[in-house]
């Protein structure tokens, strides 16, 4: 039995419409003069990068811009960004502006600035030797929660693998969240990133209780703890009630704001509690097909919830209530069975795939996916129902 838990977050969160105007005071507090802005072409084309560089220019900062981030960034892109950073004068703060891909890249560069080496040197958990360069994360998607998390994900293209660097030192110094920056996010990216946030919240909420996690020593993904439970349940309700509007009526600033708050809370929750089977299964699938991360985790989520519903009945019932499902006279067990169905309906409403065959997975790949997923012990040990090769294969066949 584990007896204690810990909770980490970023030191400072600034949230609200127009919050990006606070960038100057944030950088002043970090004593920064020369900044590196990491972003991607989509953010540049949307005019968001210019908005931020104008604020920086008007306030007198020297700004170097790396705008070549790509979705699900390969290790090579991180190295390219690091080479670019080295050609600039002494950088004293990094800004990650964009979705999880740009923010994760900014994290890796801030890590290499402080400690040198190669991204693969830090692959795994708790391998970052100390604080990274001061990092301000400004999300433009409502999804990954990367602005507060301890995780950076890169793609090892040669080996068809996603690699994760996880360490509490990777949390940005400041998370700056401005819902106005997310208003132009295209519907499909809104759906994929939003459902990823839901997966984080549901997996953190229903994770095995921290005391029963079978691991020795200090671990980042600790299982369900009281603070992450509170954050995750609120995130589930915010996302369930606002994702359809954010996708189907993108200009709705209130829905965008609630989604950004939901993804932030989900990030705070899962970066302490951890995610579980949906994310474990999504890793090998992400290596086989070119789907966005959220498309895969969201697709798997209702099947994983169905798999777990008998073990976490009370929490599944609460999830159904958070989705607004409350059939008269339903028992807790019946309510719990409604939760995966509510998630499946949400996937359909926002136009996301609900079957693995739709994203190109075939029956013969199932044993390999199950086998690889089972090796990701930090996620698998978090799942409330203990999976086996056979039960994972069955789950995947249902999802095919
Ligand atoms: N660090 C973490 O804790 C964590 C957690 C989950 C996922 N991830 C990783 O994050 C990545 C996915 O991030 P994501 O879902 O946020 O998407 P993303 O960063 O990959 O962006 C997707 C696309 O949306 C565009 N875009 C983003 N914001 C926009 C805006 N406001 N207007 C117009 N276009 C915009 C981008 O240009 C890009 O083309 C994956 O690599 C995933 O593995 C990281
Ligand atoms: Fe995720």
Q: Are residues 197 and 100 in the same domain?
A: no
- Judge residue 321's burial from the number of C-beta atoms within 10 Å of its C-beta, 0-12 exposed, 13-18 middle, 19 or more buried: middle
| CA-to-CA dists, residue 1 to 158, 209, 213, 215, angstroms | 40, 10, 8, 9
Distance between CA atoms of residues 371 and 354, nearest Å: 22
HSE value, Cβ hemisphere, 13 Å, CA-based, for 354? 13
Binding site membership of 206 for ligand 1 (Cβ less than 6 Å): no
Q: Do 112 and 252 lie in a common domain?
A: no
Compute the distance between CA of residue 232 and CA of residue 120 in angstroms, rounded to an integer. 31
CA distances from 242 to 142, 204, 298 (A): 11, 20, 16
Indicate if the alpha-carbon torsion angle 380, 110, 108, 117 is positive or negative.
negative
pTM (2 decimals)? Answer: 0.97
Is 309 contained in some domain? Answer: yes
Which segments of the chain does DSSP mark as H helices, in order?
23-29, 41-45, 48-58, 75-86, 100-115, 187-205, 226-248, 253-273, 277-288, 293-308, 313-322, 332-349, 366-374, 377-380, 389-399
Chosen domain end from 182, 197, 223: 182
Q: What confidence score (pLDDT) does residue 328 get?
A: 87
Give the sign of the dihedral formed by CA 393, CA 395, CA 396, CA 400: positive
Q: What is the CATH number of the domain that holds 119?
A: 3.40.50.1970
Whose CA is closest to atom 17 on ligand 1? Answer: 99
Same domain, yes or no: 205 and 337: yes
* 253 in the same domain as 117: no
Residue 118 domain-assigned (yes or no):
yes
Same-domain pairing of 138 and 249: no
- Of the three residues 147, 182, 217, the one that is the final residue of a domain is 182
> Element (H or E) spanning 12, and its range?
strand 12-15
270 Cα nearest atom in ligand 1: 3
**Residues 247, 317 share a domain:** yes
pLDDT tens per residue, the chain (400 residues)? 899 999 999 999 999 999 999 999 999 999 999 999 999 999 999 999 999 999 999 999 999 999 999 998 999 999 999 999 999 878 999 999 999 999 999 999 999 999 999 999 999 899 999 999 999 999 999 999 999 999 999 998 888 778 889 999 999 999 999 999 999 999 999 999 999 999 999 999 999 999 999 998 889 999 999 999 999 999 999 999 999 999 999 999 999 999 999 999 999 999 999 999 999 999 999 888 989 999 999 999 999 999 999 999 999 999 999 999 988 899 999 999 999 999 999 999 999 999 999 999 999 999 999 999 999 999 999 999 999 999 999 999 999 9
114 part of a folded domain: yes
Q: Which helix (H) or strand (E) holds 215?
A: none
Task: Report CA-CA distances (Å) from 137 to 95, 101, 102, 218.
Answer: 6, 12, 9, 26
For the record, the structure tokens of 359 come out as: 């994203």
Specify whether 226 is located in the same domain as 78.
no
Tokens 């005019």 belong to which residue? 47
Range of the domain at 332: 187-399
Beta carbon of 166 within 6 Å of any ligand 1 atom: no
Sequence-ordered list of residues with C-beta below 8 angstroms from that of 358, at least 6 positions apart, any chain? 299
Please tell me if the CB atom of residue 193 comes closer than 6 angstroms to any atom of ligand 1: yes
From ligand 2's centre to the CA of 393, what distance in Å?
A: 21
Q: Is residue 321 part of a domain?
A: yes
Apex 118 CA angle, 379 and 283, nearest 5:
25
Domain CATH code at residue 331:
1.20.1090.10
**Within a domain: residue 87?**
yes
For 97, 242, 264, the CA distances from 178, given in Å and listed in that order, are 11, 17, 12
pLDDT at 217: 87
Query: Same domain, yes or no, for 280 and 191?
Result: yes
The C-alpha atoms of residue 344 and residue 236 are separated, in whole angstroms, by 14
96 C-beta closer than 6 A to ligand 1: no
145 CA distance to ligand 1 middle (Å): 10
| CB of residue 99 inside a 6 A radius of ligand 1 | yes
- 191 and 156, same structural domain? no
Please count the structural domains in the chain: 2
Pocket test for ligand 1, best of 40, 100, 150 (most atoms within 8 A of CB): 100
Question: How close is the Cα of 99 to the center of ligand 1, in Å?
Answer: 3
Which run of H or of E encompasses 13? strand 12-15
């Amino acid at each position: 039995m584990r007896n204690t838990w810990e909770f980490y977050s970023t030191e400072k969160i600034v949230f609200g419409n127009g919050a990006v105007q606070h960038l100057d005071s944030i950088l002043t507090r970090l004593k920064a003069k020369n900044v590196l802005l990491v972003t991607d072409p989509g953010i540049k084309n949307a005019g968001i990068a210019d908005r931020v560089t104008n604020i920086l220019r008007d306030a007198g900062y020297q700004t170097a811009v790396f705008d070549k981030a790509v979705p699900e960034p390969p290790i090579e892109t991180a190295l390219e960004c690091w080479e670019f950073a080295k050609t600039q004068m002494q950088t004293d703060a990094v800004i990650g502006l964009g979705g999880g891909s740009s923010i994760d890249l900014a994290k890796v560069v801030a890590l290499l600035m402080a400690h040198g080496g190669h991204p693969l040197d830090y692959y795994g958990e708790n391998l970052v030797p100390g604080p990274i360069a001061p990092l301000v994360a400004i999300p433009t998607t409502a999804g990954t929660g990367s602005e507060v998390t301890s995780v950076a994900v890169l793609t090892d293209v040669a080996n068809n693998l996603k690699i994760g660097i996880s360490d509490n030192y990777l949390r940005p110094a400041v998370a700056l969240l401005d819902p106005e920056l997310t208003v132009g996010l295209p519907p499909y990216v809104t759906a994929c990133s939003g459902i990823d946030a839901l997966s984080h919240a549901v997996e953190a909420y229903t994770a095995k209780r921290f005391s029963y996690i079978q691991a020795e020593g200090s671990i980042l993904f600790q299982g369900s703890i009281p603070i992450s439970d509170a954050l995750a349940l609120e995130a589930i309700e915010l996302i369930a009630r606002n994702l359809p509007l954010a996708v189907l009526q993108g200009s709705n600033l209130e829905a965008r704001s609630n989604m950004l708050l939901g993804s932030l809370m989900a990030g705070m929750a899962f970066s302490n509690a951890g995610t579980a089977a949906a994310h474990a299964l999504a890793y090998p699938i992400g290596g086989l097909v070119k789907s966005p991360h959220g498309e895969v985790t969201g697709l798997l989520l209702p099947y994983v919830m169905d798999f777990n519903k008998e073990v976490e009945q009370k929490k599944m019932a609460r999830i159904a209530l958070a989705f607004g499902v409350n059939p008269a006279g339903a028992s807790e067990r019946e309510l719990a069975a409604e939760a995966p169905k509510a998630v499946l309906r949400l996937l359909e409403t926002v136009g996301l795939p609900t079957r693995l065959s739709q994203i190109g997975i075939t029956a013969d790949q199932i044993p390999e996916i199950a086998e690889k997923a089972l090796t990701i012990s930090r996620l698998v040990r978090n799942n409330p129902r203990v999976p086996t090769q056979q039960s994972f294969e069955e789950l995947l066949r249902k999802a095919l």
